[in-house]
Amino acid sequence: MGHTLVTRINQEDLSYINDIIFATGIRTNKIPFGRNCDREAADRVLPYHFTVFHWAKSDDEKYLNRLKGLKNPGSCSLKITGTSIMCPVEEGSALLYFAFDPDQRYEQCANAIQRVMQGPTSGFYHITLAVSKDFDEIEALKQMVDRTVTFPFYVRVEGFDLYHIWKPVRRVGSIS
């Protein structure tokens, strides 16, 4: 992959998600398998997020130029409605995620991004919490999260960050 444009979640809300996962006592990794990267390093660099738009390295010139025309269309919020598991995903792993409903403001942001990038944004509304090849671990994590969290809750999106993906993973810019 070349780059990925992700939501920047408000620090207080990001801390809340981190605390939820930390409280389970299970060491997690939110980076999918099959990405040809150091998953541990990538997990440390990328905070919890929603991937809005991404592209292959071969498309870097095209999309990086288009991205220069994007201005932050403002903040929005995501209504977290629950947890779900997708299985199997890459390399036979399981993915635990928060499902969410975006607000109208997010839809306006997504439309602005689609116009500038001349391509669709992601319609799979989720924030990955953990990816593992141990399905029992993912199921246990889901149960712990579901017991401790009251749904729905909201997270605020303050802007968008651009990451170079994968070798090496690094934040390269933001739209604030």
Q: 30 phi and psi, to 5 degrees? A: -95, 0
Asked whether 174 and 162 are in contact (CB, 8 A), the reply is yes
Other Cβ atoms less than 10 A from the Cβ of 140: the count is 14
Asked whether 158 and 10 are in contact (CB, 8 A), the reply is yes
What pLDDT does 50 receive?
A: 97
What pLDDT does 79 receive?
A: 98
Q: Note down the domain range covering 50.
A: 3-175
Residues 165 and 50: their CA atoms lie apart, in Å, by 15
CATH number, residue 50? 3.90.1140.10
What pLDDT does 2 receive?
A: 87
In the chain, the number of structural domains is 1
What pLDDT does 16 receive?
A: 98
Closest CA to 131 of 57, 53, 42: 42
Helix H or strand E encompassing 111 = helix 104-117
Q: Is the pTM of this model over 0.75?
A: yes
What pLDDT does 69 receive?
A: 83
Give the mean pLDDT per block of 10 residues along the chain (176 residues). Answer: 92 98 96 87 95 94 92 89 96 97 95 94 97 97 97 96 89 88
Closest CA to 160 of 95, 81, 106, 97: 106
Q: Is the dihedral of CA 86, 161, 46, 53 positive or negative?
A: positive
Q: Which residues pair with 89 in a beta bridge?
A: none
What pLDDT does 139 receive?
A: 98
